[in-house]
Amino acid sequence: MTSTQPLLLAGDVGATKTTLALYTAAAKELPGSPPLKKETFLNRSFACFDDVLAIFLGAGGQVPPYACIGIAGPVLDDAADMTNLNWQLDARALEKRHGFIRVHLINDLVATAVGVPSLDNRDLYTINSGKPHSPGTRAVLAPGTGLGQAFLIPQENGFLPCPSEGGHSTFAPRNAEQLDLLAFMLQRQTHVSVEQVCSGLAVPKLFAFMSTRQTVPEWLQLEVEEAEDATPVIIEAARRAVEGKRVCGVAVHTVQLLCDILADEAANLALKTLALGGVYLAGGIAPRLQPLLQPERFMRIFARGSSAALLARIPVHLILNQQTALLGASEYGLRSLVRQQAPDPTIPSRF
């Protein structure tokens, strides 16, 4: 593998899987063109990120000088303890162990947000067209294993990406059913964050709550009990039901509750960031929710209260492109890392 351009390793490290890719630093190749190499790994098969990285780079293989890695967790001083995975990453340690010139760590939702401006209509499912304000802040909400959040603030020649740990803020019920859900959760823990009722990790808890109110078919109960991860089982049961393939009210109502909480939290994030440029739903389970996301129902919850008119004009999109975070990490690394280390007038500075 040879290149006259500096090489950049980009990574998307989630709680469930890690995707790594190798890019040249030529601006004409970003965004959108394929990487030189890309692989995805299941995290449960590895004790730490270093083991994943070693396999990707290969024994005695070429180590790219630069790396930018998006991580599911808060990043402080170029180091991170992952929120839903027992991994620790430190940029300086990665440089020393693997021979990088420079490694930069960013939150995975910052990476996703950075990738948003490069998306086109094929990458999006529009829930609300709205009337976007340009330039306007764009907010990203990602129900994956957890619930990530970030936003882009417009500035000259681009956007300033900002991280957030808003998914860990306290869950606020919006109706009687959700008050009952909160009471159900508080019987089992002392604090209930919005992530704990609006994420992949939340689906089995929502299902357990809904099972106290509706009958669970024997076939679904068996599938849930036998599954290593019950979340895709429940979502798939709901999807089949809405497609008319197999009736399953408890699964449909479970996922509907998830989508309702997602709509409400999306509105909260839009108000807190004044996201007049749009709200984008990302994350690993977001595309699987598409058949169950009813735009009219979503927007009735989203555009509410004294700010209903303002919220109604905000575009809301579901991101279908599962490589958005990787794309964002590569862009971020190119603009803010490679340019600093090896200035190239063909590489525009956007951050």
Q: What percentage of the chain carries pLDDT values higher than 70?
A: 91
Residue 78 lies in a domain: yes
Residue 121 lies in a domain: no
For residue 221, pLDDT beyond 90: yes
Averaged pLDDT score across all residues of the chain: 90
Do 189 and 301 share a domain, yes or no?
Answer: yes
Residue 295 lies in a domain: yes
Burial 107-117 (b: 16+ CB within 10 A, else e): bbbbbbbbbbe
Residues 119, 31: Cα–Cα separation, whole Å: 9
Task: Specify the pLDDT at position 2.
Answer: 46
Burial 165-175 (b: 16+ CB within 10 A, else e): bbbbbebebbe
Residue 109 lies in a domain: yes
SS3 126: strand
318 close to 124: Cβ distance less than 8 angstroms: yes
For residue 28, pLDDT beyond 60: no
350 close to 158: Cβ distance less than 8 angstroms: yes
Domain count across the chain: 2
Residues facing 152 on adjacent strands: 138, 161
Q: What is the pLDDT of residues 235-267, one digit of tens each?
A: 999 999 999 999 999 999 999 999 999 999 999
Do 310 and 223 share a domain, yes or no?
Answer: yes
Do 188 and 100 share a domain, yes or no?
Answer: no
Q: Tell me which residue has tokens 């823990």.
A: 189
Residue 153 lies in a domain: no
Task: Specify the pLDDT at position 60.
Answer: 62
For residue 348, pLDDT beyond 90: no
Task: Specify the pLDDT at position 59.
Answer: 66
Residues facing 141 on adjacent strands: 149, 281
Do 331 and 268 share a domain, yes or no?
Answer: no
Do 268 and 333 share a domain, yes or no?
Answer: no
Residue 134 lies in a domain: no
69 close to 329: Cβ distance less than 8 angstroms: yes
Residues 7, 64: Cα–Cα separation, whole Å: 5
Do 104 and 201 share a domain, yes or no?
Answer: no
Residue 330 lies in a domain: yes
Residue 233 lies in a domain: yes
Mean pLDDT of 79-91: 89
Do 267 and 327 share a domain, yes or no?
Answer: no
Do 219 and 329 share a domain, yes or no?
Answer: no
Do 61 and 88 share a domain, yes or no?
Answer: yes
Do 103 and 178 share a domain, yes or no?
Answer: no
What is the pLDDT confidence band of residue 30, given thresholds at 50, 70 and 90? very low
> What CATH number is associated with residue 23?
3.30.420.40
Do 185 and 309 share a domain, yes or no?
Answer: yes
Residues 105, 15: Cα–Cα separation, whole Å: 15
**In terms of residue numbers, what domain contains 222?**
167-319
Do 290 and 333 share a domain, yes or no?
Answer: no
Closest to 69 in 3D by CA, of 29, 32, 33, 23: 23
What is the pLDDT confidence band of residue 344, given thresholds at 50, 70 and 90? very low
For residue 339, pLDDT beyond 90: no
Task: Specify the pLDDT at position 4.
Answer: 55
**CA-based max dimension of the chain:** 64
Burial 9-22 (b: 16+ CB within 10 A, else e): bbbbbbbebbbbbb
The region that residue 246 occupies, defined by phi over 0 for left and psi between -120 and 50 for alpha, beta otherwise, is beta
* Nearby residues of 47 by Cβ (< 8 Å), 6 or more positions away: none
Residues 66, 85: Cα–Cα separation, whole Å: 25
For residue 81, pLDDT beyond 60: yes
17-23: which pairs have CB atoms within 8 A and are 24 or more residues apart? Answer: 17/41, 17/42, 17/43, 18/43, 18/49, 18/52, 19/323, 19/326, 20/52, 20/53, 20/56, 21/326, 21/330, 22/64, 23/330, 23/334
SS3 268: helix
> On the CB side of 314, how many CA atoms lie within 13 Å of its CA?
31
Report which residue type is found at 70: G
> What CATH number is associated with residue 292?
3.40.367.20
Task: Specify the pLDDT at position 83.
Answer: 77
